[in-house]
A and B are shown apart, each in its own frame.
Chain A
């Protein structure tokens, strides 16, 4: 997909003015956020499970090569063909090669963020293949030639009215006056159309939420059942996934599954959790004749000896973006690349480079909600701060921001000078703003005062108040 992360600021401006988007996003607090809260309340062990989940992933990542090898041995023994892909280009070409070998014309796809990451659809289409997304949200996005704006709810940025209009434009073989005024009618229409594709598909591509070393299996988690039809009806099943998905045993994956659905949609468990191990067996009556797994690295291994290793624990539940005030205001597309929200702010700079994505770690209020809900306890704000430091060390940021930071750090290391400067500054502002009690505009603070007044300080600094408090001076 095209990367527009560098244009984050203008993306944000457009998003804030987009009334359809604002309407679509307004459902988040009462939807996914409230549902997660309710699911968590029903499971007293939820918080303790987060610690267990974090430990499982930490252990696996510390032995990643060995668990991947163990998984590969088991998977291969069950008949899987395992393909290692150092880069996105490698992965694209491997999948295209599998399609060529299968003489494929029609490819169905379940939801896979890794396939978005490698821009798989465009590559396959360039080879003359028809690629059809079968997850409803992904399909809605595909027929608009857009990309997902959320990792578990790809079409969360669309209103029902937009979807209805898209269906009328896209499905021209159906009666023009058919009613599509309720979600259930739209879902039924999509079901009919995609059913045909499932049955005719030559290759079915899915992602994987997890790989299990003990059994050599891959796992998908869905609610629609599209992944199961995708992988059961085509002759060839290709799993496109990444190296960070492996866990040791069924018990380990069980713990992570207990966290995943609750964090993602607030369900106790997703409707379908499917373990796939090898292709169909000799005696089987259905299932794919070939089963391939493509394991993407694409910059992940390079994180292992950095503070960003922690982000490889991510199970892609989406809770961090659901709870993020920035995401809630601007939606996913503003982030300009595959992974939006706090997880995107941390992982995109690692995958596409800090230069391209440097705005993202700065797009945070540091409220900490993402970390507090992340089932894998990834310190997202801390990692964003780490990117900011790296950006500063590499000479990034505007000249003004750099000078301001330098001035601040000079003062912050000299407490007496700091107190003096803040006393003088505050006294000046408080004198200047005395009549109104607030400023309508202020040099260097235009970003704030363009949209709201800046309250004038009331005279004394925090340190002064604190010192008085310690001395017992009544306020």
Chain B
């Protein structure tokens, strides 16, 4: 495949579109303005609520999708909450996590049985711990950004995924979460992967019957802190 052939293929597709559309000048500005405008469309009413309403909606939506939702009154309490969830599920207290500064700032020594291994996940890991940049109440959806802080494999490889989100980062609609991402990464810029997660993995491919736990985590525990 030479470069010239690739250029010719590109021209062929774009040329065919232009011929059919008969586009002329002036439209480019309209398109650029449309992209830059980032105008919101109709946003469902259900996400217009106060903080406690949003928290209740967020938790209810996640539970409807077979996730566990627990609250941790403070950061200091997080180790206890995580340990008690894992003990309740009969799981080891050995976790995999990235370099997330906020997670690292938590005093995990309050639960000496917990041990955390840093870095991307490997197949042997049983429990992954990640920190969501935002949470969307509308459908009970967590927003995770890839990077050394929270590698994608930590969310997807282990059988059990624990995702922590700060109550302050809980928003109503997806649009508000995207605004947070734009603030953090700059307009029009994204992390390599942005994962929207709304439950443990599932499938209905066998006879149309719903099974929780397909290729991704079988269990999802969401901890809301604060």
Is the pair A269, B192 in contact by a Cβ cutoff of 8 Å?
Answer: no
Knowing A84-B10, A160-B206, A301-B17, the reply to whether A275 touches B201 (Cβ < 8 A) is no
Shortest distance from the beta carbon of B175 to any chain A beta carbon, whole Å: 6
Is the pair A187, B41 in contact by a Cβ cutoff of 8 Å?
Answer: no
Knowing A90-B9, A183-B206, A225-B214, the reply to whether A252 touches B41 (Cβ < 8 A) is yes
Is the pair B41, A305 in contact by a Cβ cutoff of 8 Å?
Answer: no
Inside 8 A of B208's CB, which chain A residues have their CB?
27, 31, 153, 156
- Of the candidate stretches A61-69, A371-379, A444-452, the one touching chain B is A61-69
Q: Is B39 on the interface with A (CB-CB < 8 A)?
A: yes
Is the pair B44, A45 in contact by a Cβ cutoff of 8 Å?
Answer: yes
Contact size class for B?
35 or more
Q: Is A122 on the interface with B (CB-CB < 8 A)?
A: no
State how many residues of chain A have any CB contact under 8 Å with chain B: 103
Inside 8 A of B192's CB, which chain A residues have their CB?
276-281, 284, 287
Is the pair A272, B197 in contact by a Cβ cutoff of 8 Å?
Answer: yes
A65's partner among B14, B42, B121, B178 (CB-CB below 8 A) is B14
- Of the candidate stretches B80-88, B107-115, B152-160, the one touching chain A is B152-160
Is the pair A70, B44 in contact by a Cβ cutoff of 8 Å?
Answer: no
B188's partner among A74, A134, A255 (CB-CB below 8 A) is A74
User: Which residue of the partner chain A has the closest CB to B23?
Assistant: A65
Shortest distance from the beta carbon of A311 to any chain B beta carbon, whole Å: 14
Is the pair A270, B156 in contact by a Cβ cutoff of 8 Å?
Answer: no
Task: Report the bound CA distance from A98 to B21 in whole Å.
Answer: 32
Shortest distance from the beta carbon of A83 to any chain B beta carbon, whole Å: 7
Q: Is A307 on the interface with B (CB-CB < 8 A)?
A: no
Inside 8 A of B173's CB, which chain A residues have their CB?
254
Is the pair B27, A215 in contact by a Cβ cutoff of 8 Å?
Answer: no
Inside 8 A of A297's CB, which chain B residues have their CB?
12-13, 16
Is the pair A86, B13 in contact by a Cβ cutoff of 8 Å?
Answer: yes
Is the pair B207, A163 in contact by a Cβ cutoff of 8 Å?
Answer: yes
User: Which residue of the partner chain A has the closest CB to B214?
Assistant: A224
A232's partner among B22, B23, B193 (CB-CB below 8 A) is B193
Is the pair A274, B195 in contact by a Cβ cutoff of 8 Å?
Answer: yes
Inside 8 A of B201's CB, which chain A residues have their CB?
223-225, 271-272
Q: Which of B198-219 contact A (CB under 8 A)?
A: 198-209, 211, 213-217
Inside 8 A of B178's CB, which chain A residues have their CB?
250-251, 254
A56's partner among B32, B41, B121, B202 (CB-CB below 8 A) is B41
Shortest distance from the beta carbon of A270 to any chain B beta carbon, whole Å: 7
Q: Is A265 on the interface with B (CB-CB < 8 A)?
A: yes
Q: Is A238 on the interface with B (CB-CB < 8 A)?
A: no
Is the pair B35, A213 in contact by a Cβ cutoff of 8 Å?
Answer: yes
- Among the interface residues A90, A156, A254, A267, which one has the most CB atoms of the partner chain B within 10 A? A254
Q: Is A13 on the interface with B (CB-CB < 8 A)?
A: no
Is the pair A226, B205 in contact by a Cβ cutoff of 8 Å?
Answer: no
Knowing A68-B14, A251-B41, the reply to whether A223 touches B203 (Cβ < 8 A) is yes
Q: Is A194 on the interface with B (CB-CB < 8 A)?
A: yes
Shortest distance from the beta carbon of B44 to any chain A beta carbon, whole Å: 5
Inside 8 A of B175's CB, which chain A residues have their CB?
250-251, 254
Is the pair B216, A228 in contact by a Cβ cutoff of 8 Å?
Answer: yes
Inside 8 A of B30's CB, which chain A residues have their CB?
63
Task: Report the bound CA distance from A269 to B211 in whole Å.
Answer: 17
Q: Is B148 on the interface with A (CB-CB < 8 A)?
A: yes
Shortest distance from the beta carbon of B34 to any chain A beta carbon, whole Å: 5
Q: Is B130 on the interface with A (CB-CB < 8 A)?
A: no
Task: Report the bound CA distance from A187 to B23 in whole Å.
Answer: 50
Is the pair A70, B38 in contact by a Cβ cutoff of 8 Å?
Answer: no
Q: Is A258 on the interface with B (CB-CB < 8 A)?
A: yes
Q: Is A249 on the interface with B (CB-CB < 8 A)?
A: yes
Task: Report the bound CA distance from A155 to B217 in whole Å.
Answer: 22
Shortest distance from the beta carbon of B65 to any chain A beta carbon, whole Å: 7
Knowing A183-B206, A224-B201, A232-B193, the reply to whether A191 touches B38 (Cβ < 8 A) is no
Shortest distance from the beta carbon of A49 to any chain B beta carbon, whole Å: 6
Task: Report the bound CA distance from A214 to B175 in whole Å.
Answer: 14
Is the pair A275, B194 in contact by a Cβ cutoff of 8 Å?
Answer: yes
Q: Which of B92-111 contact A (CB under 8 A)?
A: 98
B205's partner among A66, A154, A216 (CB-CB below 8 A) is A154
Shortest distance from the beta carbon of A136 to any chain B beta carbon, whole Å: 4
Is the pair A134, B98 in contact by a Cβ cutoff of 8 Å?
Answer: no
Is the pair A249, B34 in contact by a Cβ cutoff of 8 Å?
Answer: yes
Q: Is B4 on the interface with A (CB-CB < 8 A)?
A: no
Knowing A194-B215, A223-B201, A304-B17, the reply to whether A251 touches B27 (Cβ < 8 A) is no
Q: Is A94 on the interface with B (CB-CB < 8 A)?
A: yes
Knowing A86-B9, A191-B215, A287-B192, the reply to whether A305 touches B21 (Cβ < 8 A) is yes
Inside 8 A of A280's CB, which chain B residues have their CB?
146, 192
Q: Is A426 on the interface with B (CB-CB < 8 A)?
A: no
Please give me the 6 A-B residue pairs with the lowest Cβ-Cβ distance, nearest first: A225-B216, A224-B214, A137-B205, A304-B20, A269-B139, A183-B206
Taking beta carbons and an 8 Å cutoff, which residues of B are in contact with A? 1, 6, 9-10, 12-14, 16-18, 20-23, 27-28, 30-32, 34-35, 37-42, 44-46, 61, 64-65, 98, 119-121, 123, 139-141, 146-148, 151-153, 156-157, 173-175, 178, 188-209, 211, 213-217
Between A and B, 22 residue pairs with Cβ closer than 8 Å are A43-B44, A63-B21, A66-B31, A70-B32, A137-B203, A160-B209, A163-B207, A187-B203, A191-B213, A195-B123, A199-B123, A232-B156, A249-B38, A255-B42, A270-B198, A271-B216, A272-B197, A272-B216, A283-B147, A285-B119, A285-B120, A285-B147
